[in-house]
Structures are given as structure tokens and as C-alpha cells.
Amino acid sequence: MCLGIQEVQAQNQLKEKAIKRAHQLYNQGLSLQEQGKYGNSIVYFKKASELYREHQQWAKKIDCDNGLTYNLYSMGKYNEALDQANQTLLETIAKVKEDSTKTLYSYINLGHVLLVKGNHNKALEYQQKALRIRRSVFGEDHPEVADSYHLVGNVYFGKGEYPKALEYHLKALQIRRATLNETHVGISNSYYAIGNDYFITGQYDKGLEYHLKALQIRRAALGEFHPDVANSFNSIGNNYHYKGEYDKALEYHQKALQIRCSILGEDHPSSAGSYNNIGNVYFNKGEYDKALEYHQIALLIRRSVLGENHLDVADSYHLFGNIYGDKGEYDKALEYYQKALQIRSAVLAQTHPGIASSHQTIGSIYFLKGEYDKALEYHQKSLQIRRSALGEAHPNVANSYNDIGNVFEAKENYEKALEYYQKALQIRCAVLGEKHPKVADSYYSLGNVHQIKKDFQKALEYYQMALQIRCAALGESHPSVADTYNQHGILYQASGNYQKATEYHTKALQSYLKSLGKTHPNVGDTYNYLGKVYLQKGDYPKALKHFQQAMLANVPTFQDTLIAHNPALKSQATTFLNSKTLLTSLQKKAEVLEKLFDQSGKITDLLLAYHTSFTADSLAKIIQRNQENETDKVASTANTAALYHQALSLCLKLHRLTQEQTYLDKAFYFSEQGKSGVLLASLTESKAKIFAGIPDSLLKQDQTLRNQIAQNTQRLAKELNKGTEADSTKLLTYQNQLFDANRQKENLVSQYERFYPKYYNLKYQPSTVTPEQLQRKLNSSSVVLEYALKPNVLQIFILGKSFFEVKSIPLDSLFDRQLTAFRDGIILKDPDLYQQVAHKLYKLLLPPAIPRHIKSLIIIPEGKLASFPFEALLTQSGKVNLNKTRAYLVHKYHISYAYSGRLLYERLSHPEENSKKRLLALAPVFADSALAKNLLSTRLKSHLPISVLRSKNTVGLNTDYTILNSESTSNAFQKFEPLTASNFDLPIITEKIRRSSVLEGGYVTPLIASEREVKTIGQLFRAKGAKTQLYLYHKATEDRVKSPTVSTYNYIHLATHGFVNENFPELSGLLLSQENTSHEDGILYTGEIYNLHLKADLVTLSACETGLGKLAQGEGVIGITRALLFAGAKNVLVSLWKVSDESTADLMKYFYQALLSGKNKTEALQTAKRKLVRKSQHKSPFYWAPFILIGQ
């Protein structure tokens, strides 16, 4: 028994010794942990943990395991740390569940690890549990409670909720200062966290103040070589970086890197962070190769340690995007930005500033690629997130304002650009100080707008302020300084000072070559600028040399200095850096070569110009092919209009010299490139979806997204149309919904192109037509007149069944005024003004080469001719008796219009599919209850353009005509004062209601004659045995037109009010009736028409101005007609101005009588117009000339 006691005592002594040893090991581990020697600390914690487990000292074992978790976390071994934390929590609950303080540290460790892994909500849950335990155990005013407040604040910081983060960090500081010595490390931790809160919200001076306080305490308490000291150095470096003090920033980041590599090792995430930050500073110093070197090291470490889907990896991808963007490699930059966004979207809330940063940078790349509407979507999304998360007075909010200003400047909305630039400048000056490089960026942007507005003195002032700041902050060799030199050069060139322009562009070039190297878009731009100066000076050899050098700088794979050579462009392997820069180089090179030919007469120069134009054309197609937003495509077409006019001129010169038919054919090709190419591409893409074997489920998804995009575009336009009264909350909602729908649509199209090769092939098949192909479709009595309108010359392509020629008509400065006077003379019923120009324009526009046997003209107009009624031209000179005349062109020819030769070819290749006539006709009349009328008028007033809204006293006219402005009438023509009730002549006062006088006395104006019109047309169709569906009054609803059954009708007739909104074409539309039970608003907008599925051979819009819209250079009129053609209508009958209710009803009756008697559409329209001319009250072209047929 005594021996048994001795054995027990011996065992107890051994146990006590083991536990004592475990305590020693634990304390050594704790000491090493406090010194930041986490790897060594792990060894001691593991040994202590094993001893505690062996002797069932569970509470102490859990302390060791919690310490072990913290070390793994601190070493960046987050997966191991997470496993250890979960295991420790389970063991704690099982072994010491009565001691809540033990679970506390497991919760804290889990919160740490989950935060760094990006699981913010779960991290917050654990840290809040820990906070509750500590408050329960220790009370409110205890250092450990302060620790939990601090940790909760850290999670809110990670979530991007910075005001909440600051709130919790300040709570922690308050408790720590009350309970700890001022030099305690805990207080330094609070200073550090608060410094970060101020930094992230753009308060860099305040952030620096707190970080310097933290550093002072940490160095004294922890020594120089400690991870927390490195963290302080890092944060101080970040503040100096954002203050624009780059050398100081580098100094502190290098210190942080040295400590981190020494203590934590090269492959630690914190070391990666230092490499990253040093790379950022070099990036902002313009040293891109050095920046790339440091970022590559950071990315390798992060991917190795953290895995692919980590926020730090996303940050690295983002920074790679920055570098490639500034190097001019935009597609590569976009690839990295999209990778970063993908990771951030998976980990962060969509309202996090990190998401905003991705949107902002992606928007910037689309801006540089010339896709301005798409860029605007991304920048507005970024701004919305930043304002919400960071507050208004933040540098990143200023950056978003500046980015949006850039887009508006590029879209030529200069007042809007100035508004956003001023907002950015105000924030930057207030937050960053007057000498910050970002303030210089604002001055630079403001200078650009004032230069474009020809306010050269103001522009120069801004440029000089920008240059002064940039030189002081960034150094002479920084690319931003070179940017400023270039803008000085552009300014001096615009003001005619070519010597100064050359001087500044040369300085910019030298600076770029030093900082960016020989191959960069900025270098290419500068060579282009110098080339333009030499071109204007008439030094063509030097100009050519610089445009060739620009191509070498912009196309890395092309290094041929021979002027006779151009880059070989392949759509599948785009080797150029900046498409816009290259397009300028090619276009200007062709222009110089043509001028050299004009001087020397050498045909080799002309041939090289010709071939260079084709290379430019190939590039223009690549640019448009890569654009997804239709508005961007239309803008791109406008930018290439000059290229095609120039190329057309080259072809005609070559034809005159060689008499080779091929050059005439190519001239027609270039004329066609400036005619509705975007509409044609949209129609081709629409057909590709039908014939590519895409599953119905995807096509339904496509249609849903198209509807969402149209609906939100319309809603956004309505709200924007209110101007200063727009609801900002609604604007944000619609922008968000539109942004999301557009991104989903892009992803869907990407799927089509990737998985359905037939769709890809059909979508991108060549879509041109040759003169010979078009001629084969014409009958012997028809002629196509295609117009190419340049500022000083009009080219007319004349194509008949057996002949093809081109006439070039010189134009003087009177031409535009004559067009305006012709239109004004008709609309204002001024026969003198009308007769002054009607025959002169006939002689200009109708070539004498048209054979006598021709009966039908098909007009393909361009520019201002898009709204010109050729039928009203006078074929006789001198004073004509308009009451008896047969001199109107409508008596000589039946006339139709087409948007392009290719679209005409498509129409002629697909005649009416079904000879059985089926009519759908609607006339709301608007003569029913006052309630329904008032409902419509209330809706209309909120978003129609003011010029459309009519009071009782001005029912007659609006002189603000779409496209042709009466103010351009020269002094050679009679000037008119605006019409009012007091100066109307008698015929206007007694005129019947017009189908654009939408509102009268607060109600929708009744269209009484429209009822007679539709009933008469219905009788005519029924008499021919045709299926006929008429809807009048309240039955003529929007639902009827949107019904799937609309595709079963081959004739659709709408007799109603129409209106045009040039600022927002999607708000142009047609009024229909409104049933109280309907979910529609009674207005069929252009955006909604695009989504209809029509198979109609003819759609007639018996309404006002339905043939008008926004005139887009190179694309034509963007309006209701275009929408109907896209929706499937083969032919459209529309009007060019505000039409009379009575005369319109008569014209439509005569038209359908002739059509149903066997005449074709153009003959029927000619017959109807001739009949109106014979009616005494409707002889004036005002009544019959506005209606034109677009189609066959």
C-alpha cells in the first residue's frame, strides 16, 4: 500500500513536471508569437499542446491550439488555419463547454481567417459572438471588449462599410485609452485601424497622422523588425502614394518589404502586398516595366499561397490591367480587369468599392476603344457604388466624375463634360490639395473642352496649370507631362501657329520615347499629330513619313518604313494597339497621297492612296465588329464617313484616268459603306439567330433581355428628358437594370458565337452589293439614284437595268440653304420661296442622264437629303402656276426610297410572300371620354419634347423642324418671323387638326377624319375578299400592336398622332388608345417597335413626322421607320412633316384604291398624290409631298 502511494506521488510529480514543462513551452510560444516569429512559435505551441492533451489539461490545450491557429493565420496559411480553428472550436465545445472564454478565442480566430478568405458575413457573425461573450464576462470598459470592437470594425472595413468600421474602431480606442497606458501596443493597433479608415475614405492627411502615431508606439514597444512595424511602414507608404509623393511612398514600401521578407519570408501574402505596392508607385511614376516586374512577383506569391479565387489575386489582376491599359494593350487589359471583376463579384457584395474599381477600369478601356455608351454604363455604375460606399467628397468619386466627363466630351456633349469635370475638380482640390497630380488631370480635361469650343486662351491657361503641377509632382519625363505637351501642340495647330505646334509635339514625342518606348499608342498619336501639322503646312513628304512612323509605333508586328507598305490586318488576329490611332494614320496617309497626286499627276500615288483606303476600310470593319452597343456602332460609322467619302473620290479619279469599270464599282462600294451599315448588321444578326439552330430556350432568353433593355432604355430616357426635374433614385434604378441586362445580353451573344458556328458565320458574312447584282434585280423602267453628299460635291450613282454611271455635281455654300428654303416654302405655304429653289434643286439633284423611258425612281439619299421630298421638285423653270401645273416631279415618276443599295437588294430579292391580303388597321381617334384623353395627355406632358406639346393658340405650326433648321435660310431668301396666333394667314387659322398637334387645351387632340380613313380602307380590303381587322377608339390599344397575331397581317395601317424626340430617339413614338384595364401606357415607342415581330409587306404610318428622327452621319435617320424595318416590315409609308387630318385621310383612300386595283406601291402612291393635286383645297405640296415610301 505504501508502494502504491509512492507510485501515485511519483506519477503526480511527473505530471506536475510535464505540465510545468508545457507551461514553459506555451510561454515560449507566446513570446515568439509576440515577436512575430510565427513559425518558431508553432513548434512550441504544438509540443505544449501535446503535453496538455496527454495530461488532460483541456483548457490549456485549447489555449495552445488557439495560438497555433493565430500563427497559421499570420503566416498566410489560411486553409490550415481554418481547419485548425474549426477543430479547436469543436474540441472546446466538447471538453470545456462551461468556460465561454475558451470558445471566445475560437470565434475570434474563425473571424480572422474567414475575413481574409473573403467570407465577410460569417466572419462578422463570429466576431459579434466573441463581442457578446466579452461584454458579458468583462463588462463594457475592458481592454478585451475593446479588442472585439476593433475586430468587428475590421470586418466592416472588409465589407466596405467604412463609416461603421470607423465607429467600432473609435469605440475600441476610447476603451483602450481609458484602460491602458498611452504607449501600449493595443492603442497603436487602434491608431493603425483608424488610419486605414481615413485612408480608404480619401482623408490622406488624417490617415497619415494616425499611422505615424501607430508607428511611433510600435517601434518603441516591438522593435524595428516586427510585422506590425512593417504594416505601419506599408500604410504610411500608401498615404504618401495617394498624396502624389511617390519617392516618399517608395521609401516606406521598401522598408516594409525588407521587414516582411526577413521575418515572414519571401512567399508570404504580406510580402506580396509590398511587392504590389512598390509596383503601384512605379506605375504612377510611369515606369511600366519596373511596375510589371514587381506585380508579377506579387501575383506568383498570391496564387501560390492564397489560390486563384482570392481578393488579393483579383487585386493583382486589376493592377496588371492598369499596366497593360497604359501600355496601350487594351484587349489584354480588359482580359485582366474581367478576371479581377469575376473574383470580386464572387466574394464581395455588389455594393463594395472593389466592384466599383473594376467597373471603372473596364469602362476606361471601352472608352479608349471608342465604345463610349458602353463606357458610360460602366462609369455610372462605378459612380453609384462609390457615392454610396465612400461619400461624395472622396477622390475615387472625383475620378468617376472625371471619367464620365471624358465620355461626354467624346460624345461631343461639351456642357455636360464641363459639368462633370468641375465636380471632379472641386472634390480633388478640397481633398487632395491644389498641387496634386489629380488636380492637374482636372485642369487638363477642362483645357480640352475649352480648346474644342475654340476658347484657346482659356484652354491654354488650364494646360499651363496642369503642366506646372505635373512637372513638379511627376517629373519632366512622365507620360502625363507629355500628354500636356501634345495638347499644347494641338491648340497651337488649331490657332494656326504651326511652328509652336511642331515644337510641343516634338517635346511630347521625346518624352514618350523615353518613358514608354517606341511602341505605344501615345507615340503613334504624337506622330499622327506631327503628320497633321506637316499636312496643313503642305509638306507632304514629311507628313507621309510621320503617318508611317505612327503605324510602326502602333502595330508591333509591322516595322516597315517604306511608304508603299501598310500593315496586313486580319480580323481574327488584331495586332495593333489602338484602332482609332491606326485608322487616323491610314486615312491621313491616303489623304496625303491623293494630294501628292494632285501635285505630281503620278498615278502610283493615287493607286497607293486607293490601296491604303481599303486597308483603312478593313480596320473600320474590325472596329465595328468588336463593338456591341448599337449607339457606339452608329458613332463609329459617323467617324468613318470622311474615310469613305475620300475613298469614293479616289475611285472616281482612277476611273477617269483608266476608264476601268472596277473603279466605278469600288466607288459604289464606298458609297454603300456610309449607308445604314449598322441597321444592315442588326438585320443580319437577327436572321442569323433564326437559322443557326439556337435552342428555343436561349432565343426566349434573348427576347426577354431585349425587352428588358428596351424597357429600361425607354424609362431612363423619359426620366432624363425631364432635365433638372429628373428623379435621381429612378435614374439609378434604371441605369442598374439596364447595366445588368446589357451584361447578360453580352454573355448570351458570346455563347451563341462560341457554341453555334453557323450563327457566327451568318452574322459576319460579307454584306455588300455590287452594281451588277442590283441591276439584275431592277426592271427596265426603274432607275436607282444613290447620293453621296460631301461638303463641296454631290456624287450621284445612276443605276438602270442596262446602264451605270456617276455624276459629280459641284456644290456651293447656297446648297444647304436651298434645301431648307424648299422645305420651308412648302410647310409655310410660301409659293415664292418654294419656286425660287424648286427647279434649281431639280437641276442639281436629277441628272439629265436618266433615259426618257424611265418611269420609276428609287432614291437612296444621304445626310440632309434623308428628309427631302423629291416628288415636290419642279421640272419647269420660271414662274409656274401651281394651281394647274404638271411640273411637279410626281407627275413624271413614281418614287420610292431606300436606306442603302444592300437593303434595297434584300427587299427586291424577297417579293411579297403571300398574295392573300390581310389588313390590320387602328385609329384611336381620341374623340372618346375626356377621362381617357386626359390620362394620355398627363402621361405625355411628363416626357414629350416641349416642341411637340401644343396649346390651343398654336395648334398650327412649329417652325423648329427636325433635321432642317429654318434659321439656316440665307439672306438670299425671305426671312420669316415665328408664327403666332396674331400673324397666321387665313388658310392656317382654318386648317383642320394636324396629326402632330398632340395636346390641345390639356387633352389629346381628336383626329376625326382618321375614323373615316380607316373605315374606308377596311371597306376597300373587304371588297377584295381580304381578311380585315379594324380597331377604333378605345379598342385601338397598344396591346393590339404588341400581340403575337400582328405577325399574321401583311398590311398594317396606323392612323394616329406621331411625335419625334431628337435628343432621345427611343422616346419618338405613336399614340394609341388607353383602356383602364391595360398595363400599357398607350404610347408605342420606337424602342418597343424594335421588339415587334412583323411580317408585313407594308406598314403605313398615317401620322406626323414618322419619317424623321435623329440624323446620324453615315447611318441616316434614327427613328420610327428604322425600327419598323428592323422589326420585319418590308416596306414603310411614312411622313416628313406635320400632316393635315383631312387631306391625309383622302390621300390614304386614294392610295389603297390604286394599290388594290393592281398597281404596285410606288405607282399607287403616285396616283394618290396626283389626285390630291387635282383637288382644289389640297393642291399644295404641303398636303401630298410629306408621305414617302421606303422599300420597293
Cα separation, 539 vs 543, in Å, equals 6
Residues contacting residue 1151 through CB under 8 Å, at least 6 positions apart: 1100, 1133, 1164, 1165, 1167, 1168
Cα separation, 616 vs 594, in Å, equals 15
* Residue 408 CA, distance from chain mean position: 11
pLDDT score of 986: 27
CATH 1.10.3720.10 holds for 1-95: no
Placement of cell 512559435 in the chain: 41
**Higher-scoring residue by pLDDT: 881, 409:** 409
pLDDT tens per residue, range 364-415: 999 988 889 999 999 999 999 999 888 898 889 999 999 999 999 999 999 9
Residues contacting residue 225 through CB under 8 Å, at least 6 positions apart: 36, 259, 262, 263
Rounded average pLDDT over 945-969:
31
In this prediction, residue 886 has a pLDDT band, given cuts at 50, 70 and 90, of confident
**Higher-scoring residue by pLDDT: 634, 1146:** 1146
pLDDT score of 947: 39
In this prediction, residue 980 has a pLDDT band, given cuts at 50, 70 and 90, of very low
The closest of 1078, 1072, 977 to 1033, measured between CA atoms, is: 1072
Cα separation, 1148 vs 1162, in Å, equals 13
Cβ atoms of 123 and 111 within 8 Å: the answer is: yes
| CA distance to 921, 1026, 1088, 1123, 1125, per residue, from 1093 (Å) | 17, 21, 11, 11, 10
Cα separation, 987 vs 992, in Å, equals 10
pLDDT score of 991: 43
In this prediction, residue 532 has a pLDDT band, given cuts at 50, 70 and 90, of very high
Cβ atoms of 385 and 359 within 8 Å: the answer is: yes
Cβ atoms of 869 and 835 within 8 Å: the answer is: no
pLDDT score of 472: 86
Residues contacting residue 14 through CB under 8 Å, at least 6 positions apart: none
The C-alpha angle 1183, 1185, 1191, rounded to 5 degrees, equals: 130
Residues contacting residue 415 through CB under 8 Å, at least 6 positions apart: none
pLDDT score of 570: 65
Q: Mean pLDDT lowest for which of 268-272, 644-648, 699-703, 719-723?
A: 719-723
Cβ atoms of 344 and 326 within 8 Å: the answer is: no
The closest of 897, 939, 880 to 1067, measured between CA atoms, is: 939
pLDDT score of 956: 28
- Does pLDDT of 1077 surpass 60? no
For residue 250, give the C-alpha cell.
Answer: 517608395
Residues contacting residue 674 through CB under 8 Å, at least 6 positions apart: 637, 640, 641, 644, 645, 788, 862, 1113, 1114
The closest of 943, 1061, 1067, 951 to 998, measured between CA atoms, is: 951
CA torsion 464→468→473→476, rounded to 10°? 90
- Does pLDDT of 450 surpass 70? yes
Cα separation, 322 vs 329, in Å, equals 10
Q: Mean pLDDT lowest for which of 223-232, 260-269, 1111-1120?
A: 1111-1120
pLDDT score of 971: 34
* Residue 484 CA, distance from chain mean position: 26
Cβ atoms of 824 and 965 within 8 Å: the answer is: no
Residue 1133 pairs with which residues in a beta bridge? Answer: 1100, 1189
pLDDT score of 891: 93
CB neighbour class for 720 (10 Å; exposed up to 12, middle 13-18, buried from 19): middle
For a pLDDT cut of 90, what percent of the chain falls above it?
Answer: 52
Length of the chain: 1192
Cβ atoms of 819 and 841 within 8 Å: the answer is: yes
Cβ atoms of 1190 and 1121 within 8 Å: the answer is: yes
Cα separation, 704 vs 709, in Å, equals 9
Within 10 A of 954 (CB to CB), how many other CB atoms are there?
16
CB neighbour class for 75 (10 Å; exposed up to 12, middle 13-18, buried from 19): buried
Rounded average pLDDT over 1090-1111:
84
pLDDT score of 627: 73
**Higher-scoring residue by pLDDT: 934, 39:** 39
Cα separation, 33 vs 70, in Å, equals 9
Cα separation, 345 vs 335, in Å, equals 15
Cα separation, 1133 vs 896, in Å, equals 10
pLDDT score of 1020: 95
- Does pLDDT of 133 surpass 70? yes
pLDDT score of 940: 53
pLDDT score of 187: 95
User: Burial code of 202-233, b = ≥16 C-beta within 10 A, e = fewer?
Assistant: bbbebbbebbebbbebbbebbeeebbbbbbbb
pLDDT score of 98: 58
CATH of 918-1190, one of 2.60.520, 1.10.150, 3.40.50, 3.30.70: 3.40.50
* Residue 75 CA, distance from chain mean position: 44
- Does pLDDT of 589 surpass 60? yes
Rounded average pLDDT over 270-293:
89
Q: What is the DSSP letter of 995?
A: T
Cα separation, 1061 vs 888, in Å, equals 31
| Mode of pairing for the β-strands spanning 1003-1004 and 1098-1102 | unpaired
**Higher-scoring residue by pLDDT: 748, 858:** 858
H/E stretch holding 1102 reads strand 1098-1102
pLDDT score of 983: 33
pLDDT score of 675: 84
- Does pLDDT of 921 surpass 90? yes
The closest of 481, 499, 480 to 489, measured between CA atoms, is: 499
Cβ atoms of 52 and 22 within 8 Å: the answer is: yes
Cα separation, 764 vs 845, in Å, equals 35
Within 10 A of 765 (CB to CB), how many other CB atoms are there?
9
pLDDT score of 982: 32
- Does pLDDT of 838 surpass 80? yes
Cα separation, 797 vs 783, in Å, equals 10
In this prediction, residue 622 has a pLDDT band, given cuts at 50, 70 and 90, of confident
pLDDT score of 1032: 94
pLDDT tens per residue, range 538-559: 999 999 999 999 999 988 888 8
The closest of 944, 961, 937 to 821, measured between CA atoms, is: 961
- Does pLDDT of 822 surpass 60? yes
- Does pLDDT of 1000 surpass 60? no
Rounded average pLDDT over 1105-1117:
71
**Chain mean pLDDT for the chain:** 85
Rounded average pLDDT over 1141-1162:
92
pLDDT score of 1176: 67
- Does pLDDT of 514 surpass 60? yes
Rounded average pLDDT over 1111-1130:
81
Tell me the pTM. 0.72
Rg (CA), the chain: 37
Strands (E), 590-715: none
Cα separation, 40 vs 32, in Å, equals 7
The C-alpha angle 716, 717, 721, rounded to 5 degrees, equals: 120
* Residue 584 CA, distance from chain mean position: 22
Cα separation, 377 vs 744, in Å, equals 14
CB neighbour class for 730 (10 Å; exposed up to 12, middle 13-18, buried from 19): middle
Q: Mean pLDDT lowest for which of 110-114, 412-416, 626-630?
A: 626-630
User: Burial code of 499-515, b = ≥16 C-beta within 10 A, e = fewer?
Assistant: ebbbebbbbbbebbbeb
- Does pLDDT of 16 surpass 50? yes
DSSP letters, 119-176, are -HHHHHHHHHHHHHHHHHHH-SSSHHHHHHHHHHHHHHHHHT-HHHHHHHHHHHHHHH
| Mode of pairing for the β-strands spanning 1098-1102 and 1027-1032 | unpaired
3-class secondary structure, 622 = helix
Residues contacting residue 394 through CB under 8 Å, at least 6 positions apart: 201, 202, 386, 427, 431
DSSP letters, 1012-1023, are HHHHHHHHHHHH
pLDDT score of 7: 73
Cβ atoms of 1107 and 1190 within 8 Å: the answer is: yes
Cα separation, 605 vs 617, in Å, equals 18
Which amino acid, residue 1056?
A: T
